[in-house]
Every structure is written in structure tokens, then in C-alpha cells.
Structure 1
Amino acid sequence: MEAVKLYEGGVYLVDGSMVVPEAETGAVKNAMGREVTPDEARRGTIAYGIMQGHNTSGDEKNLKVKFDALTSHDITYVGIVQTAKASGLEKFPIPYVLTTCHNSLCAVGGTINEDDHLFGLSAAKHYGGIYVPPHIAVIHQYMREMMAGGGKMILGSDSHTRYGALGTMAIGEGGGELVKQLLGQTYDVATPEVIAIYLEGAPAPFVGPQDIALAIIGAVFECGYVKNKVMEFVGPGVSSMTTDFRNGVDVMTTETTCLSSIWRTDEDTKKFLADHGRADDFKQLDPADVAYYDGCVRVDLSKIRPMIALPFHPSNVYTIDELNANLTDILADVEKHADEISGRAGSLDLLGKVDSAGLHVQQGTIAGCAGGNYTNVIEAAHALRGKSCGAGEFALSVYPSSQPVFADLVKKGAIYDLMQAGAIIRTAFCGPCFGAGDTPANNTLAIRHTTRNFPNREGSKPGNGQMSAVALMDARSIAATAANGGVLTSAETLDCWGDVPEHDFDPSSYEHRVFNGFAAAKEEEPLVYGPNIKDWPEMEPLGENILLQVCSKILDPVTTTDELIPSGETSSFRSNPLGLAEFTLSRRDPAYVGNAKKTAAYESARLEGAEPAELADVFAAIRTVTPEAAAENVEIGSMVYAIKPGDGSAREQAASCQRVLGGLANITKQYATKRYRSNVMNWGMIPFQSEDDPAFEVGDFVYVPGVREAIASGATEFTGHVIRDGKVAGTMALYVAPMTDNERQIVLDGCLINFNRNKR
């Protein structure tokens, strides 16, 4: 069998160890000898029990979830608190952890970053939250060490919110969904399908969590096998890995586009929680004796070899040996893709980095919630003990994921070994994951044990002629490459793995620096505002009819949230809605902001009571569709067309920036993730989809009559009339996938803030 196998159709898991494809059996008997149907056996998954335990709807097929805790970082928490405040927030009703780990090293924008950090601390005091200062921990490591536990559900405003290996179903969503929880509302979603990730065998000593994760991502991403579903890790192979190791696999499940993850727990899970002072948070989680899954990914851990995800996506996966054996052909394909992204030939020269020694890499990074874990850094230190990273182009940076991890690495001598080898040691920081730390030079290749390698995530600005490349690898192979002077090297070439001493967790740094104000809100403590922190602008309710001007048309197979609103230094303006909006699509379609502002000017003129003079022929055309169309009943707004937008980050700014520029809708073939579609709706835009090819260009209009009444009535099908050169040029069939009652009302009200104000 290959290392990763996908089953067609559903499967039964019997006694936690036997996979029985549904197609091969009519039914399966439980321990009592009674045949069970798929619907009955679905209730035997771990995920089902946790989801229903948090479901308040009374309907097992349609969830209304209330979470046990929330978490955000410093790119998102200001906007969330500001939105909740505008919606009537009085205090945080459940533990809400505000971590400062994304922009803690950025110097862009003067005092902006520290101003936002002070705001976060003041919000924790005022509303009763938990504030983790800069450099203390990355968001997900803190949640693993201090908050996650068996049977819990946690919601985070970061896409990599994953604590399944500790028995917690965690979901990464846009800030609007956290606002709902802060206001006592629910997370509404149809009960997702559950896919078994059946693990067997044990990883080789030189194989790390990133290798396993990349092997799975490579198998499931393109075909959408687990999209918006729950990945449930079962099988005997789970116990072949420590919990710290499992955490490194689990956090990468986000890159499959799944909704959440959960693992069966065992004695090692129990030990991890006990070692972190939280033995009571352990819960034994296993599937029932018969459990039904909507699909199965079977992974033979013993067959996985060191992997590499080449630019520009975590699913662009090869074994390192396969790459090294085919450097010319594979790297030529990457260069071609780079030229497509940058819009110019010769943007990236990877083939020029190959000589008789192999492929030369210029930078290595081990960091964040994926790479900075204790086990990964210890293994890297052992590989580099007594060796040298060299004094040439190659440089290695290591970021332990939290102060407790860092402290123990110091005590055990691992930091000394890394520093002696020439590695640079930094504090807990997420910057390398989103283009704000260890930015490589133009035309260089970096290898990273982090979460993503999208364009722009490493700091590239293709529109400015700046182009670098990042490949994802496990810390073990990165260390092997460093020990080989920066020549790409598989960890399999070294024999130093597996000697990992027990991690001694000391919470002192948390006890001395983390502000814990949960259940102790102090209304008298003022919120501290820096000059960049601005309130959300007013947004209109949805009009009776809408006239959408096409302001961007993107025909890429997938459009990431980092293309919709770039990460990196632009996120320093995250707390200023209009300031940040200036960067919308700036690295993918620089003309978009100007186009959207022009459309917004038409709407401003309409709100003053007159049809915009420039649109006289357009209004004449739409009156051939609906004769009563006039300035008072036709809202004008901008629209983005993309084939499949929203892969990647949970940041709501990917949608809110469009909205504050006057956006009214997206039209897509499909949405890459649920979280981006949720962001579109929470910011009052209509999540249109269409099977039709777009018969319009930038500057054209799409007129959708009767849209307000249709959405209010629950209609799902709409007709868009394409207006070009002042004439109706044709129609386009539009539809909206199912929306909850609240989602429809949010869109009708114009945004979540308006929805909550109206409720009050």
C-alpha cells in the first residue's frame, strides 16, 4: 500500500482498528450483535459527541454551537473588540485569550503595534479577558499549554486554531463569529461530515510531524476530500507519536481546508495535560465499537519519508529524495509558476541554485505553532551539535513557540548547541508564517517549518519586482540542510534522531507576565486607544435592488485571503478599517482600490438623492428590466469576481476591507473555505455563486433586481443582468448556497454590527 490512501465512499470503523468500506458490506453489527445503519453509526464518532455536547439547537443536523473559550491574536483582536463594543458588549462571558504574537516584531507604522497591544491589555482588564504580552507565546502554543482539553470546543480568529490532539475540537473563523460568541449568540452550521484519518504503523526516527502533515495535505487538498469536514484521527498509529509530535501534525490540518480536527486520546495525552498542571482536563476519547465515517484517509506512517512542499502552496508536495532526483524538471515548473504570479519572465532563478553538490538554499526557519514545538527544536539541536551552519548565504533562525518551551530548551542545553552552530534564536513570534519576519532576499529560496508558503507570505511583492520562494519542510530536514552548509538534505541522511528528553513545563513566565482577568471585569478600567485605532464606518442596509460594478475579475484557480488583503507589514494598519482597506488586492490587482472608490462615489451621489450623471445610460438600461428603477431604490456597490476565493487565513479583513470600500457582493464559482464565506456575510455582502462563465469585464455592471425581498423570503436563485456600454448585454444565473435565518438578516441589515444594534 502507498503511504496515503483515500477511500471512495463511506467506511465503518469497527473496534477502533478495522476499516470496513460501506460498499463492501450491507451493514455492520455492533457489540450486541445488532446491525447498525450509517446514520446510527455516525453517532459513534468522537466528533459527533463533542459537537452535540455543545449544540443548543435541539436539531442534530443543524448545529448552534456555544464554545468553551475564544482566542485571538494582535492582527484580529482590536477589530473584534471594536465590533463587539459597537454591538453592545458589556463583558467577556467565556474565557477569551488575547495573544500578542503576530506583529510583536514589526516596526512599520511608528507606535501602531504597541498602541494595539496596550488596547488588548486594557480590553482584558475592562471586559475580563486573558492577555498574553509580546514574546511570551504564540497563540496556539499558549492554548495547548493552558486552555485545550478533552471534549472542549474552542473558537479562534486564526485559521490554524487546531487543538484536536488534546481532545479539543477547535475552529478558526473570522472575527464576526467570535463577536457572536461574545454577545451570547451561536455558531450556526450544518453538522459537518466526518472523515477518518486512520493511522497505522509508526514514523521512522528521521520523520517529523511536518512530513506526515504534508503527505496528507498533498493527497487531499486538490480533490477537496476533507473540505469543510472534520478530520478524526484514529487507529493504532496515533499512539506511536507523542502528544507534542501530534500537535505538529494537527495544526497543519488547516491546509487541507477542513473545518476542524479531533484525535482519539490515550495515556500520552493524559500525561501531557498532567505535566502542564491540568490533569483534570483529560478525557478519554475513542470512537464507539462501530462508527461510520463519510470517508477515510488511510496513512501508513512507516512509509512516509521526509517531504518538501515547494512554492507556492503546502499541497505542492514531493519527497525530498524525489525532488533531488528530478531537480531540473521540478524546479522549472516552479519557476514557470513564479513568472505567472509576478507577470514577468525570469522572476525567480531556482535552477541557478543547483550545482554538483545539489540545490543550495539561502535561509532556514523553524518557528511558530508548527515548527517551534519543544520536540522539533530539541531534534534540530541534536542534529547541529558540534556542527556549523556556515558563514555563507545560508542562515538559520529558530523561534521556540513559548517562553516555557524556550526556558526548558535553555536548561537542557539545546539553545547552546544551536547558537554554537550559528543559528539565531528568537522569541515566540508568528511573523515568518505571514511575511513579517525573516523575510528572504529577492530571488532566494527559504525552507521553513511553518504553516504556509503562499506568495506574499514570505514577504514577496511581485508587483514591485520582489520575488522570493519558500518551501515547507520538517525541522529535522531543515537541521540536516543547515549541517550540510545549506544544500538541501533529507533528515534520513543523519542518525541522531529520537533521543528526546522529557519536557519539563514551568509556568512561571505565564504566572509572572500573563494578565488573567477572566470573570473579573473592571468597567472602570478605560480602553486605551492609540491614534490609529478607528471605529468602523457606518454601513447601509441592503437595498431593494442592487447595481454591482465589477471592480476586479480574477481568473486564478484559487485566490488566497493573502491576495485579497496582504499580510506582512500591511497588517500594521489592521485597527484602522479605512487605512487597511487601501491595501485591498494591492499585490494581485492594484487597480481595485481606485475602481472601488469610483463606484463608492456613485453611491454617495445616489444617497444625496440623484442618479449619478455618469450612470444615466446605465439607469436607462436597467429600467428596461424594471421600469420603476430609480435612485431611491437601487443601491450601487462594488463587486469582486473570483473563481475560488478565500483559501488560507481566517482574517475577516479579507471581506471587511471590500465592504468599507463599498462592496456589496462577491461572485464566485465556489468559496475555498466556509470561514471566508462567513466573513462575506458577516460584513453584509451577498455570497453569490454562479456556474456561468463571467460574461463581464472590469467596469461593467451587474444589475440584480428584487434582491432584498428575495433574500428575506429565503430565495436562493437570482438573475444578474450584465450592463455594458449602457445596454443590457445578457444575463447571468446567480445563486446563494443555504444561509441561516440570522445570516440572511445580517446581510439585509448591512453587517453584523447593524444586526446587533437592531436587535437591541
Structure 2
Amino acid sequence: MISIQRSGAYWSDGHFLSPSEGAAAGFPAPEEAARGTIAYSILKSHNTGGDMRNLHLRFDAIASHDITYVGIIQTARASGMESFPLPYVLTNCHNSLCAVGGTINEDDHLFGLSAAKKYGGEFVPAHQAVIHQYMRERYAASGAMILASDSHTRYGAYGTLSIGEGGPELARQLLRKTYDLAYPKVIAVCLEGAPRPGVGPQDVALSLIGATFNEGVVKNMVMEFIGPGIANLSMDYRNGIDVMTTETSCLSSVWQTDDVVRRSLSVHGREKDYKTLSPAPVAWYDGVIRVDLGKVEPMIALPFHPANAYPIRVFKENMEDILNRVDEDTLRQLEPSERPASLRKKIVNGEFIADQGVIAGCSGGTYQNLMAASRILGGHPVGSDAFWLSVYPASMPILLELTRLGVMSSFMASGASVRSCFCGPCFGAGDVPANGGFSIRHTTRNFPNREGSKPSDGQIAYVALMDARSIAATALNHGRLTSALELPEPPADPADEPYRYDDSAYEARVYRGVGHPHPETPLVFGPNIADWPEQISLPENLLVTVASAIYDPVTTTDELIPSGETSSLRSNPVRLADFTLSRKDPGYVGRAKNIAALETLRRKNPADPAVLAVMDGYDPADTALGSAVMAIRPGDGSAREQAASCQRVLGGVANLAGEYATKRYRSNVVNWGMLPFTVKDIASLDLAPGDRLYIPGIRAALRGDAEEISALLLKDGARRPVTLSLPGLTREERDIILAGSLINFYAP
């Protein structure tokens, strides 16, 4: 089904050739042939410098939603921004439920609208569209680049190389700065054959994620989709695979384009944005992934990661063993006060019983997914027992067309709940199941508590990812887990989908002010919107206390700062910071605050006895106190910069990691003025809260180009030398850390 080749290969005339075969055919050297990829041509056209090894990129458009745009605009304002220098789209698809958090969410929306007017942006009110569907419909273009403050920023199926990053990187674009990175490796994803009826895009995506994530096959690389199988996929099908590439930990993705893309752009009134993109006659790729679409089966990704994927057939044949492993993962991930009921109790008379189905968002709520699910359900009732089904269209144009065709009335006749265009089911703010419930979702993630439960209140529920087609088949069977291939006649997905785009809802509600700022417009500040607290520059020496030590193989951004119940506080850095690591290490905030209080006292009076008592003999006049989080592999998941900024607000000065799960999290650490240390075999240090690291001369090291930093570990009454690494820090990243944050670095 999927084969992976981690060594490089030439692509020519529809075939892969080894380096020796390419040399025999007279092909150019790999470094030269690498310029033949689609990714190279797009990156080159957006690189503002002459060096393609070190890219300095400017994007064609940027986008944010209402969890992130307040902080981004506040950061850019503090750094001197006077208008948006490029199209900036502000959507309101995350904090859409304005009953949550009182007036806070709608206060943020009014701020966003006033900012769009003042600075010249595009404002999409709540319930109109989820961010990525709106960008597909309005901005994705062949050969373009888009940056957005959401990790699932993927419009590669249109030939748009898109990247999801933390807010500071968008602030840089607003300040007419560049997005800087070393030229990434480009991996060919060759699609062959055609999917069977009943196999959907989520099935292909979960197969890819399961084959690549754990081994880091495409980590921080660009996945370039090529091959004859693409012609057999509709636009929605391609988008459904593409948006999930984020979960492989790749940097971005891009696809070759064809008439299907041209027709889709034409339907949306943007045929001029189409270009034919394909590899050059000879192109070099740094690795190869081959996917036989015809062999992909309906999949299920069990808690707590999209990579924990199995064919539904295999899961049903081995339910006891697989669910036993999920039970053990639950104990490790959530650390409940008492052992929850085993998921094996969901097996009834040899069938696995789900409690809920959800089809939603940028991955599930597309026109064709909902159309396919409706055809499978066929108006038959989902039943009056515990199982229930919700569907969330990804945009108002999709909802309008499906309503016109009677699809939504068919869902309602089946007993399904039809909801608005909202991202909540993806991050835990919509359709929360009962305690112990099991939800199957065509959404993007199934991390712990992504369904909205709060473990601190003794609640545990679970999300598994599936395709809309198999969710509908399961709903047809009243919650009994059913693969769409088990249906007598699974519906086929046409490659050329019939779709009528009606954007009258946008015309009625969306504020379109790109390029037309009104600087006299006042910003509307709600009582929860607060400026970032002042951050100090990097001191000469550091005495760093470990405030939390996490030994899980991967630590998600959801664990660093919860995604659901805290979303209404995103615009208040100080209040939000109180939730840092609240699920994973509830003692962290208190520890970090104690260290921060001592640092504040040190700056006021270095000779204070309370300060001297914790300095271990080091000079408080030039040695600052700070905290750090240690984790084996932190930062998988969301692009939300709050995963790092909350640590900084609490006095964090560093992360200590074996490696960083994603570039975007490491960038957030840097942009908030923290040191992104890596430590070889970090687990062997056996760090625990309270252990300390004395790092002399750290400011001098950052002024220079040192990548290896000598430090002393103070643990159990002993001091021993350790080496901390800062690999790959650019000159500008060093200067940002020296300044104390990106805001300080760009302050006028």
C-alpha cells in the first residue's frame, strides 16, 4: 500500500531512477536536478535573497483565526506596524461560541473587525467559514505561498505552498520582514491507481501519517505529490489528504496541478489563479513515498494521535489487544486519579460500539465528504439509542449548495444535528461526549481531551479519527463500528465533482478592506484584551531551574497549553498563563511563579537575603534566575504560539529537549526570547523539578556563533558539567533571544 525510500532518487518520464541510473542517463547532479521540483520553483519566486540555501521568504497572503489574531496584531502594533502590507484574512471559526467565556469571544471579534478596518484587512464573521476552507475558496492559487497561524495551513492541492506557524512569524510579515529557514528537503509522494468506492481522503491521509510520523520520515520537509493517481482524485479528495499532511510533521506540501484544479478555481471565479505545475523533465527528490491508492482500506486512528492508525478491518479482528494498548496509553497520557473503565467494554456481542459521530471542519466538512456521507445514510435514522451524529459544513457556500440539493434536509431527517461552520470539534469546544464516551470524527486531531473533557474534573472521553464515509456507515448501523467497504454498494467519488459555488453569504457579511486601511478607525478593546507583559533581555549568566520535566516520547502543544477550555483567554497573556501545563503538570505554574518572583526581587535588590539564599554562591549582580521546561520531544501539534509565550510570561528562559517535534514550536520558543536547547540523550540526565543549570557567559555565547554551551548541572548536592546545544540558530534568531523577545527586537 505504502512504500518508503529514504534515499534520494531522480524522477523522469513517470519513473524513479537511482543516482547511478541517473548518471548513466546523463542527468545533471542531484544538486542541480533538485531545482526541477515544484517546491523549488515556488520557493525561488518568493525568496527575497540570492541564496537558495538560506531562504528569506515573503508570502502572498496571511491568515489567522480568533484564537490568534489579537496577539499577532498586538505584537505588530507594539513593533511599529501602521497598516497591513499584504492581504491579511481574519476568520472567526474557533472562538465562535460566544456563550463560552461571557463576552470575551465577541469582544475579540469586534477587535478583529476594527483592526481589519484600521489596517486594511479582510474580516470573516463567526459561523461563515472555517479558516482553511475560506482560504481555499478565496486565496489559494497555483504557485502562491500563504502563511497562517494555524498548523493545518495546507493548500497544496491547488499548487499553493502553505505553512502554519506561530503568531510571531505572521507579525514579521506584517512588519515587512521575512520568513527565514534553510532550504528544506523535498520528498516525492507518488500516488498511483485509484481509491476504491467507500475509501475516502481521510483513509489515505491516516495511512500516510501512520507510515511516516513515528519515524520522522518527512519531518520539517516538503511533501510534493506527483504521479498518475492524482488524476483519479477530485479537488475535495485532494484537499482532504493535503490538510492532514500536518500530522506527518512535514513543513509543507504541494501538488502537481491539472484540469481538475483549473475547473475548481474556475467554479470559484478565479481561473486566472491557475497555473500548470509539474516537475521538470528531470527532478531530484530527497526521498520517495509511493502510495497505491487502490490498496488503501478504511482506517481508524485510535487515541491519542493520528499516527495510531489501523485499517478498520484489522482493528475489528484484534479489538481486545489493540484496546488494551489504548487503555495503557490512557494511564500514561492522562494520569487519571483512578483507573477509568476499560475501552474493551465498548465491545458488545463482538461489535465495537461508538457513542458519537462528527463530520466537521477543514478536513471533514467539505462538499464531497458531506455528499458521500448523506448518500450512505440515505435518510435512514441514526436511531434513538445513545449514538448521535453531528455535521458541520466547512463554509456557508457549501452549506448553501447542500441545502439547495436537499442534502442537509436528508441529514436532519436521519436525526443528525446540522451545525454552523465552526472548528470546535477539532480542538475540544463542540459536541463533547459523555464521560467515558467514544467519538469517531472526520476532523484533524485526536490528542488527549480534543473532544472537550477536563481530566482535572475526573472526566475522560476519547476521539478516534475516521473518514466521513465510514462514519456514515457506522451511523447507519446505529453506532456499531462499520467500514464503508462493508456496505453492499459504497458510493464512488467522482474526480470531476459537480459543484455550484454561491458566495452570497460572504457578500452579505464579510468585510473586505484589503489594501484600503482607515487609520483613523479606533481599535475596539474588550476588557480581556491585554498587552504583552514586559520581557527582559538575555542576562550575562543564567541560573535556570527546571520547573517541569516530561518524559513522554512526544509532548503536544495541547499539553503545554490546553486547546479547548482556555480558548476564550487567548487575548489575555497573564490570565492564560495560569493554565500552562495544567493537564500534564499542575504544579508547574506555582513553581515557575516562585522562580519569577525571586528574579523580580533580584532585579530590585540583588543583595536581598531571599535572593542570596538561592544563588548557590553565584553573583546575583550578573546572574539572572529563570525557569525551564524539559521534555523529550516537545511541540507536536498546533501552531499556537501560546504554548511558548505562556512559559515566557511565567519567567521561562529556556526549553531543554532531546529534539523539537516541529519547526513551528521551536520558532515560537525563539520568538518569545527563550533558548531552544537540545541535549544529547537528555533522559540520562534524569532531570526533575528543582534541578538547576548554571549557564555562565550565555549572552556572550549568543553574541558570537557558539552552538555548544558549557553548563553545570546542580543536582542532589553535586555539580557536574553538561553540554547544551543550540544547533542551527541564525544570526537574527540569536539577536531576538538577546533582545528578550521578537517584540523587543522590533520595538521602535
Report the TM range for the smaller structure's normalisation: over 0.9
2:507 is matched with 511
Cα–Cα, structure 1 residues 50 and 28, in superposed 2: closer, same or farther, change >3 Å?
A: farther
Find the aligned partners of 2:405 and 2:18 in 1 and give their Cα distance: 48
Q: Which amino acid aligns with 2:654?
A: A
The alpha-carbon deviation at position 697 of structure 1 amounts to 2.0
Cα–Cα, structure 1 residues 538 and 332, in superposed 2: closer, same or farther, change >3 Å?
A: same
Q: Is the 8 A contact 2:234 2:493 kept in 1?
A: no
1:408 is matched with 401
2:134 is matched with 142
Match of 2:574 among 566, 569, 578: 578
Match of 1:221 among 206, 213, 225: 213
The alpha-carbon deviation at position 662 of structure 1 amounts to 0.6
1:642-699 deviation digits (Å, cap 9, x = unpaired): 0000000000000000001111000100000000000000000000110142243211
The alpha-carbon deviation at position 618 of structure 1 amounts to 4.3
1:314 is matched with 306
Match of 1:740 among 730, 739, 746: 730
Whether 1:716 aligns to 2:707 is: yes
Find the aligned partners of 1:546 and 1:159 in 2 and give their Cα distance: 32
Matches within 5 A, 1:661-680: 661-680=650-669
1:626 is matched with none
The alpha-carbon deviation at position 740 of structure 1 amounts to 1.4
Matches within 5 A, 1:53-202: 53-202=45-194
Matches within 5 A, 1:353-392: 353-356=346-349, 358-392=351-385
Find the aligned partners of 2:341 and 2:578 in 1 and give their Cα distance: 28
2:530 is matched with 534
Find the aligned partners of 1:334 and 1:598 in 2 and give their Cα distance: 37
Secondary structure at the aligned position of 1:549 is classed as: strand
Q: Which amino acid aligns with 1:7?
A: Q
The alpha-carbon deviation at position 343 of structure 1 amounts to 2.0
Whether 1:444 aligns to 2:434 is: no
Q: Which amino acid aligns with 1:413?
A: G
Match of 2:16 among 15, 19, 30: 19
Find the aligned partners of 2:692 and 2:607 in 1 and give their Cα distance: 15
Match of 1:703 among 691, 694, 698: 694
Find the aligned partners of 2:167 and 2:152 in 1 and give their Cα distance: 14
Find the aligned partners of 1:486 and 1:21 in 2 and give their Cα distance: 49
Secondary structure at the aligned position of 1:619 is classed as: coil
Matches within 5 A, 1:253-652: 253-344=245-336, 346-356=339-349, 358-494=351-487, 495-498=489-492, 502-622=498-618, 630-652=619-641
2:6 is matched with 8
Find the aligned partners of 2:532 and 2:320 in 1 and give their Cα distance: 51
Find the aligned partners of 2:742 and 2:389 in 1 and give their Cα distance: 44
The alpha-carbon deviation at position 499 of structure 1 amounts to 6.3
1:472-498 deviation digits (Å, cap 9, x = unpaired): 000000000000010000001221412
The alpha-carbon deviation at position 341 of structure 1 amounts to 2.0
The alpha-carbon deviation at position 342 of structure 1 amounts to 2.6
Cα–Cα, structure 1 residues 521 and 541, in superposed 2: closer, same or farther, change >3 Å?
A: same
Q: Is the 8 A contact 1:555 1:643 kept in 2?
A: yes
Cα–Cα, structure 1 residues 499 and 26, in superposed 2: closer, same or farther, change >3 Å?
A: closer
- Structure 1: stretches of 5+ with no match in the other structure: 623-629
1:212-250 deviation digits (Å, cap 9, x = unpaired): 000000000000000000000000001110111100000
Find the aligned partners of 1:174 and 1:28 in 2 and give their Cα distance: 45
Q: Which amino acid aligns with 2:10?
A: Y
Q: Is the 8 A contact 1:342 1:465 kept in 2?
A: no
Find the aligned partners of 1:52 and 1:751 in 2 and give their Cα distance: 29
1:627 is matched with none
Find the aligned partners of 1:608 and 1:153 in 2 and give their Cα distance: 47
Find the aligned partners of 1:738 and 1:368 in 2 and give their Cα distance: 36
Find the aligned partners of 1:341 and 1:655 in 2 and give their Cα distance: 20
Amino-acid identity (%): 56
Q: Is the 8 A contact 1:621 1:723 kept in 2?
A: no
Q: Is the 8 A contact 2:376 2:472 kept in 1?
A: yes
Q: Is the 8 A contact 1:335 1:346 kept in 2?
A: no
The alpha-carbon deviation at position 728 of structure 1 amounts to 4.4
1:264-306 deviation digits (Å, cap 9, x = unpaired): 0000000000000000000100001111100011000000010
Q: Is the 8 A contact 1:45 1:293 kept in 2?
A: yes
The alpha-carbon deviation at position 346 of structure 1 amounts to 2.9
More off after superposition, 201-210 vs 495-504: 495-504
Q: Is the 8 A contact 2:6 2:286 kept in 1?
A: no
Find the aligned partners of 2:208 and 2:4 in 1 and give their Cα distance: 10
The alpha-carbon deviation at position 729 of structure 1 amounts to 2.4
Find the aligned partners of 2:277 and 2:493 in 1 and give their Cα distance: 29
Find the aligned partners of 2:577 and 2:21 in 1 and give their Cα distance: 55
Q: Is the 8 A contact 2:6 2:217 kept in 1?
A: no
Find the aligned partners of 1:83 and 1:516 in 2 and give their Cα distance: 23
Secondary structure at the aligned position of 2:621 is classed as: helix
Q: Is the 8 A contact 1:609 1:632 kept in 2?
A: no
1:374-425 deviation digits (Å, cap 9, x = unpaired): 0000000111113110111100000000000000000111101111111000
Find the aligned partners of 2:344 and 2:745 in 1 and give their Cα distance: 55
Q: Is the 8 A contact 1:696 1:722 kept in 2?
A: no
Secondary structure at the aligned position of 2:465 is classed as: strand
Find the aligned partners of 2:205 and 2:521 in 1 and give their Cα distance: 44
Q: Is the 8 A contact 1:605 1:611 kept in 2?
A: no
- Structure 2: stretches of 5+ with no match in the other structure: none
Q: Is the 8 A contact 1:9 1:21 kept in 2?
A: no
Q: Which amino acid aligns with 2:632?
A: I
Whether 1:754 aligns to 2:744 is: yes
More off after superposition, 181-190 vs 346-355: 346-355
Q: Is the 8 A contact 2:114 2:524 kept in 1?
A: yes
Q: Is the 8 A contact 1:158 1:649 kept in 2?
A: yes
Find the aligned partners of 2:669 and 2:333 in 1 and give their Cα distance: 25
The alpha-carbon deviation at position 741 of structure 1 amounts to 1.4
Q: Which amino acid aligns with 2:744?
A: N
Find the aligned partners of 1:192 and 1:422 in 2 and give their Cα distance: 48
Please provide the CA RMSD for this pair.
Answer: 1.2
Find the aligned partners of 1:126 and 1:156 in 2 and give their Cα distance: 20
Find the aligned partners of 2:188 and 2:493 in 1 and give their Cα distance: 31
Find the aligned partners of 1:237 and 1:226 in 2 and give their Cα distance: 21
1:558-594 deviation digits (Å, cap 9, x = unpaired): 0000000001021110000000000000000000000
Find the aligned partners of 2:98 and 2:440 in 1 and give their Cα distance: 22
Q: Which amino acid aligns with 1:10?
A: G
The alpha-carbon deviation at position 461 of structure 1 amounts to 2.4
Cα–Cα, structure 1 residues 467 and 612, in superposed 2: closer, same or farther, change >3 Å?
A: farther
Find the aligned partners of 2:18 and 2:339 in 1 and give their Cα distance: 49
The alpha-carbon deviation at position 333 of structure 1 amounts to 0.8
Q: Is the 8 A contact 2:302 2:465 kept in 1?
A: yes
